[in-house]
């Protein structure tokens, strides 16, 4: 449970930094998201999940 909460904390830190340091970049990116096909977004999400699981697996192993 501690690892899970640590992961949530790091996620919040990174998200907060993006909003604090580059809010205009975030707004521009949000505008462009509507032009990206759903299938491409889904694939990117799945690749991100797999990469995250891989990194955790390597670090825990």
Model confidence band, residue 11 (pLDDT cutoffs 50, 70, 90): very high
Distance of alpha carbon 28 from alpha carbon 47, whole angstroms: 23
User: Residue 56's pLDDT band (boundaries 50, 70, 90)?
Assistant: confident
Q: What pTM was computed for the model?
A: 0.69
Instruction: Give the C-alpha separation, 40 to 34, whole Å.
Output: 12
Q: How many domains does one find in the chain? A: 1
State which residues form the domain around 32: 2-60
């Amino acid at each position: 449970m501690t690892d899970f909460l640590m992961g949530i904390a790091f996620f919040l830190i990174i998200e907060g930094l993006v909003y604090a340091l580059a809010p205009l970049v975030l707004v521009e990116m949000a505008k462009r998201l509507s032009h990206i096909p759903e299938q491409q977004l889904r694939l990117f999400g799945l690749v991100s999940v797999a990469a995250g699981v891989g990194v955790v697996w390597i670090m825990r192993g």
